[in-house]
Structure 1
Amino acid sequence: MKYVIIGGDAAGMSAAMQIYRQDENAEIITLEAGEVYSYAQCGLPYILGGEVEDSANLIARDVDTFREKYGIDARVNHEVTGVNVDTKEVTGVHTGTGKPFQVTYDKLLIASGGRPILPDWPGRELEGVHTLKTIPDAETIKADLANVNHVTVVGGGYIGLEVAENCIHAGKKVTLVQRGDQLAGIFDPDMAAYIAEEAEANGIELLLEENIQHLSGKSRVEAVHTDRRVIDTDAVIAGVGLRPNTEMVSKCGLFRHGNGALQVNRYMETNVPDIYAAGDCATQFHRIKEIDDYLPLGTHANKQGRVAGLNMAGSVKSFKGVTGTSILRFFSLTLGKTGISETEAADMRFPYRSEALTTSSHAGYFPGNSKLHIKVTYCPDTGIILGGQLIGGDGTDKRLDVLATALFHRMTVTDFEDLDLSYAPPYNKVWDPLQQVIRRAK
């Protein structure tokens, strides 16, 4: 059996390894447009701030390992430009030589990921304007930061916040421009207010409800022009979203999500026989919303890739879906969210109620306490928990994972109150803060 995989990162190589383990006669060809395989994209912002000193530390397995240890035909600089579903042929071009290539397949996995959006601003071609998605991107930005004093970060989502924090750690002055009226749009406005406070407390100039009009400079960017002001700057880093890399299969008849992501079933199959998709180029079933969603995270990519590889090799494994769990460190705060927010529940016309609480992370008399802000949304008719948002210090991550587990199993507020959670004064209260806020829902 000949397996061809488009993409050499999380989803693609998770699938390749499963095929390697399941089918001893497999011929596996992976086609990567860049030169780096299997790296931790989530670690890239920390290259900028110096917490991760060497980008090589982000590489889980290099291309030679896949070739020499596992016998995978791992190709680099192979950019796929088309797929013929009738002849089962993948075509493309070698980005180094410019020579075209073609590969036939028995089964094909599209794990081509996504690319960062760079809005069509006049002046975006100027030197010093960046996006962050790959190791070469991170290395270019880090080298550029050595020669600049002021950075304008555009976008207040997770990437924008991580980049802004790390530019501050690198000793730069930072202005963050967000066209919406809050940071971190996945949070409700009352919770996002804590994030804005943390940004300003750490020296970030925060400009909300401003739109970039254009960038200016001679050969290098020198100013960002919004609809309200001109920002003198030395560099611009855009973190405004991700677009699925699916143009190469736009004429294949594959069902696609509204943003271009490939629609897959629970076995990672597309609607075209023998073609699978996984990772940032594919949809993920959201267990709370009960719809196919687009949540491009490394955790999802690795799980979907594993499921795709198993099914391609003849096993039967289903992807159980996601609850939308994500976490971020932002200076002294941990920002966590799982399920749906109050805003999302209202937009989807779910019946909902929310309870919020600000408390301490553990026993009040014990040293080292930090504030913990919690908001839980639930269905008043069934008591089923719909989502939660947590912002605080120590213990925020632990509680986020407990809540995500509860959501995965569709627990009610009554079920949650009965959980036997750990307690000792350095770690918790007799009633865990999550249980405290959920008790208010009864």
Structure 2
Amino acid sequence: MGERLVVVGGVAGGASAAAKAKRENPDLEVVVYERSGWVSYGACGLPYVLSGEIPRLEKLVARTPEEFRKQGVEIHAHHEVVDVDPELRTLTVFDHKEGRTFQDRYDHLVLATGARPLIPPIPGTEQRGVYTLRSMEDGEALLRALEGAKRAAILGAGYIGLEVAEAFRKRGLEVTLLELKDRPLPHWDGEVGSLLKEELERHGVEVWTGVRVKALRGQGRVEAVETSEGVVPVDLVLLATGIKPNTLLAQAMGVALGPTGAIATDEGMRTNLEGVYAAGDVAESFHRVLKRPYWLPLGDVANKQGRTAGSVIAGKEARFAGVVGTAIFKAFGLAVATTGLSLEAALEEGFQARKVFIQSRDGAHYYPGSQPLWVELVHEEGTGRLLGGAVVARGHGALRIDALAALLHRGGTVEDLLALDLAYAPPYSPVWDPLLIAAQQAR
């Protein structure tokens, strides 16, 4: 028998690890067990299926089980790994379709069990009409619910809450967005939150900030959300109050977690157990600005971690270089991109930090159709080291964030940013790029 790789979880991290390991070492036997009915899909696309911009869920699938089989990777959907014995390198698998349990063995094991939604401790969340959005099954359930719905409340104004608010409005629903903190996108500084709130309200989303949700009322089916500021009548509620790493299996088999509560790994995605790796939303990353473990449950990170694990298992040199926390999302006409630390986070972490926030444009002032664009830079006093930044734009101008992310990866400073030779032409930038204007002010 050849060496056998078993992957637990077949979405971004798991599918990437399986495919990469098989490509790099075709002699490996590779098996993937996925608890749900879907594998290898882009969960980040779910809000756009809900909005109708993407016509159906199947479009989000990157590779079907048949395509994996052609590559020599065996995919088993509706199969849940319920127990692992790391001493014997055996696992117990429950086949949900057949209702039977069986044993398997591994030489290498990748834990890619993802994350699960955090259900807030408020009465009434168990009723019909209350949803989360994490998996394809969640997407299917919400699509069905949208057919008769007229009014929706969304609890939480992070990425998912904001993207789904737009999707629900595009479907013609009345939408109320409820956030405990004083602004949408509460992990970032207030100016960005204000721009977002204005944009959401312009598109008919009711934004309630600084509100505490007390209960979801209804008789087995949700009818209203009771808050500290009043009652919101609803047909459906989306809980978008965060997620946590799905580490139950890992903990049961003795895999060590890190300070974030996700699985601790080295740069090759190895855990503390011989032959056991972790990738995706269940695994930690290393934050290059904070210089410590960090949890960043995003699809691109999961893919990179999976590829790294697959390469290492196949005997190739590979390392996952860590993250700086870069993210971008769309809220109606605004693209909002952030990287590194907000000023609030930097001060909390003990940095002597300052910020500048400027408004510029995404093209020359005389070029027709040029739009406002905002830049925030967070930097360390004295050294000028960049700690973070945000770019808010109407359109692709927000991708300027990638220049800031690249500098953060290299420990760059405000001076380094000023020295960059950035692209200029009137349709795309003023003669002084907004990043450079912000850097001049920071200096």
Supply the distance in 2 between the matched residues of 1:90 and 1:178 (Cα, whole angstroms): 42
| Pairs within 5 Å for 1:320-335 | 320-335=321-336
Alpha-carbon deviations, 1:251-297, whole Å to 9, x = none?
33222134531011111011111110011000011111111101100
Alignment-derived partner of residue 46 in structure 1? 48
Q: How many residues end up aligned between the 2 structures?
A: 441
Decide which moves more: 41-50 or 179-188.
Answer: 179-188
Supply the distance in 1 between the matched residues of 2:187 and 2:433 (Cα, whole angstroms): 24
Alpha-carbon deviations, 1:155-194, whole Å to 9, x = none?
1000000011100011000001111111112310122111
Alignment-derived partner of residue 32 in structure 1? 34
Q: Does the 8 Å CA contact 2:287/2:323 hold for their aligned counterparts? A: yes
Decide which moves more: 275-284 or 134-143.
Answer: 134-143
Decide which moves more: 308-317 or 255-264.
Answer: 255-264
Shift of 1:121: 2.8
Alignment-derived partner of residue 242 in structure 1? 243
SS state of the match for residue 392, structure 2?
Answer: strand
Q: Does the 8 Å CA contact 1:153/1:237 hold for their aligned counterparts? A: yes
Supply the distance in 2 between the matched residues of 1:77 and 1:437 (Cα, whole angstroms): 51
Q: Does the 8 Å CA contact 1:6/1:32 hold for their aligned counterparts? A: yes
Shift of 1:99: 1.5
SS state of the match for residue 139, structure 2?
Answer: helix
The alignment yields a C-alpha RMSD, in angstroms, of 1.3
Supply the distance in 2 between the matched residues of 1:291 and 1:259 (Cα, whole angstroms): 10
Given residue 437 of structure 1, which amino acid in structure 2 is its aligned partner?
A
Shift of 1:122: 2.1
Shift of 1:307: 0.3
Q: Does the 8 Å CA contact 2:265/2:272 hold for their aligned counterparts? A: yes
Supply the distance in 2 between the matched residues of 1:49 and 1:251 (Cα, whole angstroms): 39
Alignment-derived partner of residue 384 in structure 2? 383
Supply the distance in 2 between the matched residues of 1:185 and 1:361 (Cα, whole angstroms): 26
Decide which moves more: 336-345 or 79-88.
Answer: 79-88
| Pairs within 5 Å for 1:274-353 | 274-353=275-354
Supply the distance in 1 between the matched residues of 2:420 and 2:259 (Cα, whole angstroms): 39
Alignment-derived partner of residue 83 in structure 1? 84
Segments of 4+ moved more than 4 angstroms: none
Given residue 223 of structure 1, which amino acid in structure 2 is its aligned partner?
A
Residue 132 (structure 2) pairs with residue 131 (structure 1):
yes
Alignment-derived partner of residue 6 in structure 1? 8
Supply the distance in 1 between the matched residues of 2:162 and 2:256 (Cα, whole angstroms): 33
Which consecutive residues of structure 1, in runs of 5 or more, have no partner in the other structure? none
Alignment-derived partner of residue 56 in structure 1? 58
Supply the distance in 1 between the matched residues of 2:342 and 2:108 (Cα, whole angstroms): 39
Alignment-derived partner of residue 270 in structure 1? 271
SS state of the match for residue 222, structure 1?
Answer: strand
Supply the distance in 1 between the matched residues of 2:351 and 2:102 (Cα, whole angstroms): 50
Alignment-derived partner of residue 169 in structure 2? 168
Alpha-carbon deviations, 1:205-247, whole Å to 9, x = none?
1111222222122232111112332211100011111111110
Supply the distance in 2 between the matched residues of 1:395 and 1:306 (Cα, whole angstroms): 28
Alignment-derived partner of residue 416 in structure 2? 415
Q: Does the 8 Å CA contact 1:82/1:249 hold for their aligned counterparts? A: no
Given residue 204 of structure 1, which amino acid in structure 2 is its aligned partner?
V
Q: Does the 8 Å CA contact 1:395/1:427 hold for their aligned counterparts? A: no
TM-score, length basis structure 2: 0.97
Given residue 358 of structure 2, which amino acid in structure 1 is its aligned partner?
L
Alignment-derived partner of residue 404 in structure 1? 405
| Pairs within 5 Å for 1:145-164 | 145-164=146-165
Alignment-derived partner of residue 365 in structure 1? 366
Decide which moves more: 238-247 or 114-123.
Answer: 114-123
Q: Does the 8 Å CA contact 2:260/2:284 hold for their aligned counterparts? A: no
Supply the distance in 1 between the matched residues of 2:63 and 2:187 (Cα, whole angstroms): 33
Alpha-carbon deviations, 1:393-421, whole Å to 9, x = none?
13433311111112112221112111111
Decide which moves more: 296-305 or 122-131.
Answer: 122-131
Supply the distance in 2 between the matched residues of 1:151 and 1:98 (Cα, whole angstroms): 37
Alpha-carbon deviations, 1:29-52, whole Å to 9, x = none?
111001111001000011111001
Given residue 18 of structure 2, which amino acid in structure 1 is its aligned partner?
A
Q: Does the 8 Å CA contact 1:336/1:396 hold for their aligned counterparts? A: no
Q: Does the 8 Å CA contact 1:11/1:305 hold for their aligned counterparts? A: yes
Q: Does the 8 Å CA contact 2:152/2:236 hold for their aligned counterparts? A: yes
Supply the distance in 1 between the matched residues of 2:254 and 2:57 (Cα, whole angstroms): 38
Given residue 43 of structure 1, which amino acid in structure 2 is its aligned partner?
G
Supply the distance in 2 between the matched residues of 1:413 and 1:190 (Cα, whole angstroms): 21
Supply the distance in 1 between the matched residues of 2:99 and 2:240 (Cα, whole angstroms): 30
